[in-house]
Structure 1
C-alpha cells in the first residue's frame, strides 16, 4: 500500500541537490545541514520534557507521600491528573499551533510546564501538587502534538521518519534519566531539575526557523521560502520543493478550515481511520499499564523489581535508537509489522508465565518467562509502535485540517492512555494471565490493521502522502 511518488527517480550528478549541504547523495550517505540538526534538537527538547513528566511519579512516590502525608488514593490522583491535563492540552493543541505557529506553541507549552514544575517543587499541600501536575500535563499534551508535526514539516522526505522518531527517543531518555535522578535526589530537587530542559527549549526557540509549510499556509510565501532555504542549506536548490509547497497550499486554501466535526467527511476518512486506529491500538496494546506498573508486575511474577526495571531501561533505549536508525531505511510498515508481532509475542509469553504460576507449575522458570515476555514487549514496542503512529500522524493530514485532526488524534491517544492506566490494576486483580492475553490479541489485531490499512510513507513528500490518502487531489 505504498504511495506513488511523483519525484524523478534519479538526480543528475550536476544537480545542486548534490552539493556539500545535500540531504542524500548517490551513495546513499547523508550530509545534513547543521541548522536542520540544531532545529530538530531544539524541538525534541520538548519530547524530553514529555518523558521526564511521565517518569517523575514513580521514583518520587515514597518521598512525596512521606513528606506531605499523602495516602495511596491521594497519590493516585497526583499520578493520573497528568493525563487529564494532557487531554486538555491535546484539545487545544491543533488550534494553538495553527493560529500562533509551531514555535510559539512549543514556547507556550513550556510556560505551562515550568509553572507546573515550580508548583510541584514548592508544594506544601496536596492541592498544589495537583495543580502543578495538571499544568505539566497541559504542557505535554500540547507538546505531544506540536513536536512531531513541526519536525515532520521541516525535514526532507528521506530523513523525515528518522528525525520525527527522535520524538520517541527523547521521551525514552527523559523517562529513563528521571528514573535514575529520582532514585538518588529529593523529589523537590528533581522537580526543579525538570525546568531545565523547558528553559533550554524556551530560550532557543527564537533562533530557529518556523515551519515553511505553516508560513505558506498563512500566506507568507517569502518567509516560507527563506525558512526552507535556511533549513536545506544555502547552496541547495529548493525551487522544486518550494513550488510544490506553494501549489499544494494554494489548492488547499479552496478547502475550508475544518472543525473536529468537519473531519468526519468522506475525503478525510481514510487518513482519520489510519491516525485514530494506530493511536487506539498503540495504547490498548497495554504499554502504559505495563510501564507504569512494571514493578508490581515483576513482584507478582516473583522477580526483583530493581532487576526488572534496570533490564527494561537497558532494552528500551537501544531498541528506540534502532527504530530511529531503521525508520527511513526499512520504511514505516515493515517496522510496524515487526514491532506489532513482537509485542503480541511478549504479551503471550507473560500470559503463559502467569498461567503456569496459577497452576503452580514450573515455579522456577515462570518468573524468567515473565521477565523475557515483558522485555520482548518493551523492546518491540520501542522499535516501532512507540514512535511510528506519531510519525504517521504528522504526515497524513493536509494542512487545512491538520490542527483539528491533530488535536482529535492526540486527544484519543491520551484518553486511551488514561483508560489503560486506570483499568490495568483492576484487570490484573481479575486475572493476570487473562490481562496479557487481551493485550496479546489486541497486538495481533494491530498486525492485521497495519497490513490492510496503513500506507508506506517512506520517501514521499507530505504533499504526495496527503493527496494520495485524501479523496481530492491537487494538480501540480
Structure 2
C-alpha cells in the first residue's frame, strides 16, 4: 500500500471516529425524562381518584343514615367536582405562567389532600360537597399543569408515550378509587384516595422545571440545567435551546388572549375544542363516574366486582394507548377509540331497550361485557389524546393559557353531562341515553377522520411551524383573489408593463414580507428549495 492510500485511510478512520464521538456526545438519556413525567403524572393520579370516587363509594354513601341522599343529591356529589374545576380553570393558566408548571403541581397537592380530609370527617352532606368542590378546584390546576409539563420536557421521539402518561396515571387513580370504594366504607376510601397527594408532593420536589417556562422567564442558565438533567450530561442541547429561543422571538413572550383567534392559532384552538367535545360527548365519563349504579340498574349480580373489572380494563386500555401512541399515531388511535366505544355504547342502549321496554331478559353478562368494551375503547384514545393534543398544538407563549381555556370548556361540558344524566335517564330511559351517546361517539369518529391532524414524531416547533405556514398560505390565497379583481384599464396597463412592478405590487410585496416575518422563522427555513421540501414533508406528515 502506498503512502497516499495510508494517509487517506487514516483520514477516513479519524473522520469515522470523530463522527462516532459526536454522536455519542449528542445521545440523550430517556430514563430521566420518564422519571420527570412520571413524577408530574402523579398529579393526575390524584385527579383520577377524585373523578372515580363516586363509582365505588356512591352506593356506600347512599346507605349512610347521616346522609339524606336522593337523585338530586347523587347528581351533585358526582358533578360538583366539575363545577369546582370550572371555577379554577380561569386561574389555572395565569398561575402556571406565574409559578411554573412544576410549582403549580406542588402547591395543589396539600389543597387536594385537605379536600379528602374534609370529606372523611364530614358529619353531613354539605361538608362532603365542600370537600368534593375543593378537590374539583385543584384538579383544574393539575389537569392544566401536568399535560403541559409532560409535553414540554420530553423529546419529540418519546413525547407521545410520555405525554399520555398523565392519562395512564389518571386511570390508576380511577382504579384506586374503585377498589377503595368497593372494599371499604366511604370514609375509609377518602383516606386511601388522599394518600397519593403526599406521594406527588414528595416526587415533584425531585424533578426540574420545564425548560420552556424557564426560557420564557429569561432564565436561560436554569433552562440549560433543566435540559442537562433531563437529557443527560453528554447531550448537546445548544440546538434545542436555539430553536426554542428562535420560536419565542417570533411568537413573543407577552401573553395576549387575542392570540387564540389569530390565523396561526385558530385551527389548533378549534381542534382542541373539538377533542374536548369528543371526550365528553362519547359518554365515557358517565360510564366511569356512574359505574356502580349502571351495573345495578342493568342487573349485574356483583356490582362491586364488576366495578373493579371496569377499572382493570381501563388500565389495559390506557397502557395500550401509551404503547401505541408513537407507533400508530394520534389520529388512527382516536378513530379506533371512538369507533369501538360508539358501537359498544349503542349495544348497551339496545340491551336496556330489550330489558326495560320489551321485557325480554338477556344474560347478565351482556351489559357487563358491553360496558367493559366501551370503557376499553374510551381509554384507547378518547381519554388520552385530547389532553395530549391540547398541550402540543399551541405555541409556547399561549400554551398554558390555551390549555386552561380548553380545560374550562371540558369541565363545563363534564359538569353539564354528569349533572343532566340521572334526570335524562329518569325521563327518557337508559336505552335512549346510551343510544344518543353512541350516535354522538360515531359522529365524532367521522369528524376525527376528516379533521384531526397527525403530530406523531414532530417537535413542538415543527407543529407550530406547520400551522404558521398553513395560515400564511391562506393569506396568500386571499391576496391573490383580491389581485385578480381588477378593472379592464388595470389589465391593459399590466399588459403594457409586464416586466415592471407597479407601486401597488411593491406595497403588497412589502406587506407579504411583514406577514412572513410574523409567521415563519426565515433563517430556520434556509433556501427556497429547502423551504419547499420542508413544507411538503410536513404537510404529508401532518
TM-score (norm 1): 0.89
Give the Cα–Cα distance (whole angstroms) in 1 for the partners of residues 332 and 201 of structure 2. Answer: 36
1:321 is displaced (CA, Å) by 0.6
In the alignment, is residue 425 of structure 1 matched against residue 404 of structure 2? no
Deviation at 1:159, TM superposition (A): 0.6
Alignment of 1:71-90 (within 5 A): 71-72=69-70, 73-90=72-89
Please report how far the alpha carbon of residue 17 of structure 1 lies from its aligned counterpart in structure 2 after TM superposition: 7.7
* Cα separation, partners in 2 of 1:370 and 1:194, compared to 1, 3 Å: closer
Q: Is 1:312–1:378's contact at 8 Å kept on the other side of the alignment?
A: yes
CA deviation profile, 1:70-98 (whole Å, cap 9, x unmatched): 33244543332111111122221111111
Question: Separation in 2 of the partners of 1:473 and 1:139?
Answer: 37
Counterpart of 2:249 in structure 1 is: 250
Task: Give the equivalent residue in structure 1 for 2:189.
Answer: 190
Q: Is the 8 A contact 1:345 1:376 kept in 2?
A: no
- Partner in structure 2 of residue 49 of structure 1: 46
Aligned to 1:112: 111
Are 1:133 and 2:99 matched, yes or no?
no
- 26, 32, 35: which one pairs with 1:35? 32
CA distance in 2, matches of 1:21, 1:201: 32
- Matched ranges for 1:342-381 at <5 A: 342-358=340-356, 360=358, 363-365=361-363, 367-381=364-378
Give, in angstroms, the shift of residue 436 of structure 1.
1.9
1:408 corresponds in structure 2 to 405
| Aligned 8 A contact 1:103 1:210 in 2 | yes
Of 148-157 and 347-356, more deviation after overlay is shown by 347-356
Q: 1:102-181 alignment to 2 at 5 Å?
A: 102-181=101-180
Deviations 1:330-373 (A, max 9, x none): 111111111111112112211222233355376235x4443332
Match of 2:482 in 1: none
Are the counterparts in 2 of residues 344 and 444 from structure 1 also a CA contact under 8 Å?
yes
CA gap 1:204/1:291 in 2 versus in 1, 3 angstroms: closer
- What CA distance in whole angstroms lies between the structure 2 residues aligned with 1:33 and 1:357? 52
For residues 331-350 of structure 1, the aligned pairs below 5 Å read 331-350=329-348
d(CA) in 2 for partners of 1:474, 1:89 = 36
CA contact (8 A) 2:393 2:460 kept: yes
Which protein shows a greater Rg? Answer: 2
Considering only aligned residues, what root-mean-square deviation do their CA atoms show, in Å?
A: 2.3
Deviation for aligned residue 1:111: 2.6
CA distance in 1, matches of 2:281, 2:114: 31
Residues 102, 211 of structure 1: 8 Å contact kept: yes
Note closer, same or farther for the CA distance 1:164–1:16 as it changes in structure 2 (3 Å cut): farther
Relative to structure 1, the CA distance from residue 16 to residue 122 in structure 2 (aligned partners, 3 Å threshold; closer, same or farther) is: farther
Q: Do the aligned residues in 2 keep the contact of 1:221 with 1:246 (CA within 8 Å)?
A: no
Q: 1:338 to 1:15 in 2, by over 3 A?
A: farther
Q: Deviations over 1:43-65 (max 9, x none)?
A: 01101101111122333335545
1:216 equivalent to 2:201? Answer no
Q: Which structure would you say has the larger RCO, counting Cα contacts within 8 Å and 6 or more residues apart? A: 1
| 1:327 counterpart residue number | 325
Shift of the 306–131 alpha-carbon distance from structure 1 to 2, 3 Å rule, reads: closer
Structure 1: 5+ residue runs without aligned partners?
Answer: 1-11, 24-31
Residue 236 of structure 1: CA displacement?
Answer: 1.6
Matched with 1:8 is none
C-alpha deviation, 1:212, in angstroms: 0.6
Map of 1:449-464 to 2, 5 A cutoff? 449-464=447-462
- Change in Cα spacing, 1:354 to 1:204, as seen in structure 2 (3 Å) is closer
Kindly tell me the number of residue pairs found equivalent between the two proteins. Answer: 454
Is the CA contact 2:55–2:307 (under 8 Å) kept in the aligned structure 1? no
Q: Counting helix residues as a fraction of each chain, which structure ranks higher?
A: 2
Deviation larger for 238-247 or 331-340 = 238-247
Q: TM-score, normalised by structure 2?
A: 0.79
Contact 2:180–2:193 under 8 Å retained in 1: no
